[in-house]
A and B are shown apart, each in its own frame.
Chain A
């Protein structure tokens, strides 16, 4: 298993490199000069050239990439053009906040999703199944920024139970695990949990239905197991796939929550990306996307290793 893990890490390295190239190029392919936004409108051609040289934009792309990668490998993502602060500091704080939000959302989504999925899979075509299916369809199809606003209207504006935006009472961009900060987490987490809930419940329903239709389930009953005993086998069989889906959902939420984070002014990566795009803050954009992409690669690796550890049918060689 250890050998397998090392092997997977080895395989992932070129993927990570490829990702870094794409992230680097992505920003350069985007139209518009990244420096225009910070240069005075009446800057002369000389001043522009000077500025370009200062940021290294005058060198060939390959060289620029080499320099950039070298710095990245030394934990230097450059400084934000807009604020001048080190990108790494901003990104890591945002990633921390997003990770909290995404993990809690995935956990909520996973808990309810597996529950609905199991109920629907066990009682196929019953009213319970219909209700669970309806909930999951709503979950994946309701626009979640809209749901976020509805929740804010009900629970913040009308009832005044929960704060509408931000990550904490002091307005600082740092979420901390204490009761006061927890209140800020509730609405965005519920909003974001709806999509993984829908997806996980549908996956688990199909998975459970498929497992229950297999002959070994009948054989388990034939050897005298109670329904509870059979259920344990169903769970063990469903676990690898269900956990893999959960891991991937976590990855999506980590980077794909621009809208929800913006609605709730949650100081995470989505919020940061939004700001970086609108301010054409190239180093910040690059740094954020790179870190998110690396997280995704890492999560995939984790899911892969976990699934292999849980499912004996997957060859470990």
Chain B
């Protein structure tokens, strides 16, 4: 039984007459202790997918499909249950900790607040917990740092504090939305290593959003590539890297190869721009940019085609690895 199971998730923004479909039928599953990297260009719907798992969208957003997390039906939860679920079963690390922490509260108090909220402890016990967590994420002179306001910390330290906050109530699932993008290169690596270490120690299930294939390979067991609100290729890390099947994934990997030493290089080397989500073509959304497009691509959305045991791609040109090897 996977701890996260998302089926045919759709998220629409904007007016009903002209909706922007940011997520267009995403299926995801995640086992306990597993890490999935969600990869894709800007605007492909990665953050929206993550936020859906916590129902963090504005009221005007319309969410469809189903999401099971730790045997709870996320979309059916009444508000009180939802608030208890957020932070204690699933928690989130945001891209920019400088924006995600309340600027006028002490960081230690912000952590204590979550502990008090979920575990019903006293505020003092909450602070004690915050201190433990600060030690755990290796913030130097933790006692003093608890009393800092976010602006008094460096970016890397803030992200460590954010991680401490996310782990404060022993969640089972951690959603990390580009947790290292806003940091300096050297700090990025430290935070990444810390996250990987904590993930292993605590047996967390992690969905890790990133632009950076190098990072994805570093942390993830599996990779899912998103394009225009759909997962267009998914599989075990090694399989996707070694044998990418979707032309978009191939393009990503090629662009990565060109800049392989530029950490954090954005994935923009594929010609063309991502489609407008309000006016998607009927067929494969990547067709207008695809170098090997066929007429059939423009007719209907290709279904997932299995390439090897856990590896699939939504491309009508995809063939099973075995078959491919036979033709070579």
Contact = CB atoms under 8 A, between A and B. Distances in A.
A313 B94 contact: no
Contacts of B86: 221-224
Interface string A178-196: 0000000000000000000
B123 interface: no
Interface in A229-277: 229, 233, 236-237, 240
Contacts of A229: 113, 117
Interface string B212-249: 00000000000000000000000000000000000000
A220 interface: yes
A76 interface: no
Interface stretch (A167-175, A202-210, A211-219): A211-219
Interface string B61-105: 000000000000000000000011111100110101001111111
A2 to B, nearest CB: 19
A313 B102 contact: no
A53 to B, nearest CB: 61
B19 to A, nearest CB: 19
Interface string A273-317: 000000000000000000000000000000000000001110000
Contacts, number: 73
Contacts of A237: 102-104
A236 B117 contact: no
B83 A225 contact: yes
Contacts of A222: 54, 56, 86-87, 91-92
Contact of B94 (A215, A236, A311): A215
B84 to A, nearest CB: 6
Contacts of A221: 54, 56, 86
Nearest to B118: A224
A260 B85 CA distance: 56
Contacts of B169: 224
Interface in B159-211: 165-166, 168-169
A214 B88 CA distance: 23
Most chain B CB atoms below 10 A, which of A224, A229, A311 = A224
B114 interface: yes
A225 B113 contact: yes
In which size bucket is the chain B interface? 20 to 34
A251 to B, nearest CB: 25
Nearest to A216: B102
A216 B56 contact: no
Residue among A218, A226, A240 with the highest chain B CB neighbour number at 10 A: A218
Contacts of B103: 216, 237, 312-313
B177 to A, nearest CB: 10
Interface string A122-165: 00000000000000000000000000000000000000000000
A293 to B, nearest CB: 33
B114 A224 contact: yes
A218 B117 contact: no
Contact of B99 (A215, A220, A225, A236): A215
A224 B87 contact: yes
B149 interface: yes
Contacts of A312: 103-104, 149, 151
Contacts of B83: 224-226
Contact of A214 (B56, B99, B105): B99
Contacts of A311: 104
Nearest to B101: A216
B102 A233 contact: yes
A214 B150 CA distance: 15
B85 A224 contact: yes
A313 B151 CA distance: 7
Interface string B306-318: 0000000000000
B105 A218 contact: no
A218 B83 CA distance: 12
Nearest to B55: A221
A313 B104 contact: yes
Nearest to B86: A224
Nearest to A215: B99
Given A218-B56, A313-B149, A223 B87 contact: yes
A119 B96 CA distance: 29
A219 B117 contact: no
Contacts of A215: 94, 96, 99-100
A21 to B, nearest CB: 39
Contacts of A216: 99-103
A223 B100 CA distance: 11
Given A218-B56, A219-B94, A225 B117 contact: yes
Contacts of A236: 102, 104-105
Contacts of A220: 102
Tell which of B104, B114, B118 has the most Cβ of chain A within 10 Å. B104
A233 to B, nearest CB: 5
B132 to A, nearest CB: 17
The 3 closest A-B pairs by CB, nearest first: A224-B87, A223-B87, A224-B86
Given A214-B99, A221-B86, A233-B105, 6 more contacts: A223-B86, A223-B165, A224-B87, A237-B102, A237-B103, A312-B104
Interface of A: 214-216, 218-226, 229, 233, 236-237, 240, 311-313
29 contacts: A215-B94, A215-B99, A215-B100, A216-B100, A216-B102, A218-B56, A218-B94, A218-B100, A221-B86, A222-B92, A223-B86, A223-B91, A223-B117, A223-B165, A224-B86, A224-B88, A224-B117, A224-B169, A225-B114, A233-B105, A236-B102, A236-B104, A240-B104, A311-B104, A312-B104, A312-B149, A313-B103, A313-B149, A313-B151
